[in-house]
Amino acid sequence: MGTARTTRGGSSLVIQTSFLGDLVLTTPLLAELATRGPVDVVVTPGGAPLLAHHPAVRDVIIFDKRGAHAGLPGLWRFGRGLRTRADGSARTLDAAYLAQGSLRSAALARITGARAVVGFDSSGGRALYTERVHYDRTQHHAERLWRLAVGNSEPVPDAERIRPRLYPGEDERAVVDELLRQAPFGDRPFLALAPGSIWGTKRWPAFPGLAAALRDRYRLVVIGGKDDAPLAAEIVRAAGAEPVLDTTGRLTLLASAELIRRCAALVTNDSAPQHLASAVGTPTLTIFGPTVPAFGFGPLAPRHASAGVASLDCRPCHGHGPKVCPRGHFRCMRDLPISDIEATLARLLAESA
């Protein structure tokens, strides 16, 4: 087993069926591979819309691993089907790249008939790889994924080379235009707040208080999915008479990225919106509780900052963030004052001016 070769050309298949934020962080790998030949991507049904309009991607292929393609028969049918494109032409793959490292994904790559299967040496499916790339925990995950294409011997890339990119199109711009046209706002800058996360301990509980502190200076926009609606409602109540644009559950991910692009900054938990902001270049302040930026999933926007309670000996406590605090006190979030976030945001925006 060797490391990935930097001279490989031809058609590539990237398999990324993990979290949505991970898919966004895969886009620098897609851009690198696109300099060598066509790039097709296997994604979940939820992730597919994110890659709409992406210039590095030829085919977006939906893998419904919990539905139509579940189980070994479904995996086999889907993998064999990848050998043919939608127009009936053959899909001949020089290499499949495992951005998601499960045994199932590795088996899928093998079934496609790709000449090479490239993944991380730490992955569960590594026994099925023909080439392994070292998983360096000191690197940002966007760089780790990019190195699947270039190997470990390449110099450290500049920040723009590994910054993710998304490309909202006309439809997304039109939706956001109409949303903002109807919003009862003045002329202050827009500020996006993303209070949600699928991991309970990643949610900073003071977003409503932050909204109350900032409501006179910014037009506040809440970003999130439909499950974040109760959190958004708390922010709306805290803002009082000042209107808040609650978009939770109302926008696609790509439209959310377009809305974030129009904001002066985003304040977010360690969750997918920070990666959307990185992909459209919006200044980002990420709040970290049980996790830390050193895990490799922090913001990559040209201007960004991170906040967290550095003094706790129990932090970090989990790779993703547990549902509840293991020690029961949740101090990594509760001890982070609103005034610290205000001050950090002010510095970030001063740098961006």
215 and 331 together in one domain: yes
- Residue 230 resides in a domain: yes
- pLDDT score of 187: 83
pLDDT band, residue 352 (cuts 50/70/90): low
Phi-psi region of 63 (alpha: psi -120 to 50; beta: other; left: phi over 0): beta
Give the pLDDT confidence of 71-99 residue by residue, as tens digits: 898 999 999 999 999 999 999 999 999 99
Give the pLDDT confidence of 21-36 residue by residue, as tens digits: 999 999 999 999 999 9
Kindly tell me if the per-residue pLDDT of 143 is higher than 80.
Answer: yes
- Residue 6 resides in a domain: no
40 and 70 together in one domain: yes
59 and 157 together in one domain: yes
Closest CA to 266 of 297, 226, 299, 232: 299
CATH of the domain at 263: 3.40.50.2000
pLDDT band, residue 1 (cuts 50/70/90): very low
Kindly tell me if the per-residue pLDDT of 7 is higher than 80.
Answer: no
61 and 153 together in one domain: yes
- pLDDT score of 9: 67
Helical (H) or strand (E) element with 146 = helix 141-150
Give the pLDDT confidence of 249-303 residue by residue, as tens digits: 999 999 999 999 999 999 999 999 999 999 999 999 999 999 999 999 999 999 9
339 and 318 together in one domain: yes
288 and 154 together in one domain: no
- Residue 1 resides in a domain: no
Give the pLDDT confidence of 188-230 residue by residue, as tens digits: 899 999 999 999 999 999 999 999 999 999 999 999 999 999 9
- Residue 321 resides in a domain: yes
179 and 75 together in one domain: no
Cα separations in angstroms, 236 against 63, 190, 267, 270, 351: 37, 15, 16, 22, 28
DSSP code at position 227: G
51 and 157 together in one domain: yes
**C-beta of residue 256 within 8 angstroms of C-beta of residue 223:** yes
- Residue 7 resides in a domain: no
Residue 38's domain comprises 12-162
202 and 332 together in one domain: yes
Q: Select from 162, 192, 212 the last residue of a domain.
A: 162
DSSP code at position 84: B
pLDDT band, residue 8 (cuts 50/70/90): low
pLDDT band, residue 42 (cuts 50/70/90): very high
Mean pLDDT rounded to a whole number for the chain: 93
Which residue bears the tokens 């026994």? Answer: 127
Q: Select from 129, 162, 195 the last residue of a domain.
A: 162
Displacement of CA 242 from its chain's centroid (Å): 31
How far apart CA 326 and CA 142 sit, in angstroms, is: 29
